[in-house]
Amino acid sequence: MSDQPLMTARGVTKIYGERIGCEAVDLDIYPGEIVAIVGESGSGKTTLLNCLSARLAPSAGSIYYRMRDGRLQDLYAMGEAERRFLMRTDWGFVHQNPADGLRMGVSAGANVGERLMAVGERHYGRIRDTALDWLERVEISTDRIDDRPNAFSGGMRQRLQIARNLVTGPRLVFMDEPTGGLDVSVQARLLDLLRGLVGELGLAAIVVTHDLAVARLLSQRIMVMKDGRVIEHGLTDRVLDDPREPYTQLLVSSILQV
């Protein structure tokens, strides 16, 4: 693990007219670590994630990303071409709803291969081999390679979306509620898979979730958001076992014990 942050955000603020999306958020992400952003609906988690992932320009604040060559780049100062290239090579974005992140009209193989073709791979055989390899890694049967995602179950779609994002070997993956809408056993399998892949590939990830169990399982650090502000952050185990803020205490105590 490097001692230089991969991404540095300072004072990130997004204002929607009168309302605050998120306010004065500072965040450093180091290579290989997973940071969870938790909080209830409407607390600004997704707004923050969109700002960090260059999908939504913040109203104030700065976000710097360390490129592969080591220089620190202001995300919103780089050209659109470079930003888009970064988004489809060095980054991944896993949507809550797989249909937003997948091309539902083309086969699973083409979904996985799209990024490869976007960076100039022009050999059908190699694209297909890579796609097969990735389907295997996300536990999708390889004979489904020519099926369209709309013939897949929710869990399979989510795994396919993950494969599609990881195929170019990104260093940073953004995940917006990756387990939302999946049943518990499918969630468990997906979390297990994600944990394995993240460890194996040394990815850094920012995971937005309202599910504290997901944060506990995946992340090393956690940020708790309320009304657009970060009210508490620290090591995941510390925050969840010994919450300081009343709101965090409320969140932690709201978990159903079965």
Partner 1 sequence: MTGEPFYNFAYLDEQTKRMIRRAILKAIAIPGYQVPFASREMPMPYGWGTGGVQVTAAIIGRDDVLKVIDQGADDTTNAVSIRAFFQKVTNVAVTTDTGAATIIQTRHRIPEHPLIDGQIIVYQVPIPEPLRFLEPRETETRTMHALEEYGLMHVKLYEDIARHGEIATTYAYPVKVEGRYVMDPSPTPKFDNPKMHMSPALQLFGAGRERRIYAIPPYSDVVSLDFDDHPFTVQRFDKPCALCGGDDVYLDEVIMDDRGTRMFVCSDTAHCDGRRSEGHVGKQAAVEEARR
- 3-state SS class at 222: strand
Closest CA to 164 of 94, 81, 86: 94
Q: Which of 72, 117, 235, 250 binds partner 1 (CB under 8 A)?
A: 117
Query: Distance (Å, rounded) from C-alpha 59 to C-alpha 50?
Result: 12
Touching partner 1, residues 147-206 (CB under 8 A)? none
Smallest distance, partner 1 to C-beta of residue 207, A: 27
Q: If binding is defined by CB under 8 A, does position 250 make contact with partner 1?
A: no
Buried b (16+ CB within 10 A) or exposed e, 162-174: bbbbbbbebbbbb
Q: Which is nearer to partner 1, 74 or 129 (CB)?
A: 129
Contact 214, 179 (CB under 8 A): yes
How crowded is residue 175: how many other Cβ atoms within 10 Å of its Cβ?
A: 26
Q: If binding is defined by CB under 8 A, does position 62 make contact with partner 1?
A: no
Q: Which is nearer to partner 1, 114 or 177 (CB)?
A: 114
Q: If binding is defined by CB under 8 A, does position 55 make contact with partner 1?
A: no
Q: Which DSSP state fits 256?
A: P
Q: Which is nearer to partner 1, 37 or 160 (CB)?
A: 160
Touching partner 1, residues 73-112 (CB under 8 A)? 80-81, 84, 103, 105-107, 109-110
SS3 letters across 120-149: CCCCHHHHHHHHHHHHHHCCCCHHHCCCCH
Q: If binding is defined by CB under 8 A, does position 123 make contact with partner 1?
A: yes
Q: Which of 60, 72, 77, 119 binds partner 1 (CB under 8 A)?
A: 119
The distance of Cα 150 from the centroid of its chain, to the nearest Å, equals 22
Site mask, partner 1, residues 209-238, x = CB under 8 A?
------------------------------
Which residues bind to partner 1, rule: CB under 8 A? 80-81, 84, 103, 105-107, 109-110, 113-115, 117-120, 122-125, 127-128, 145-146
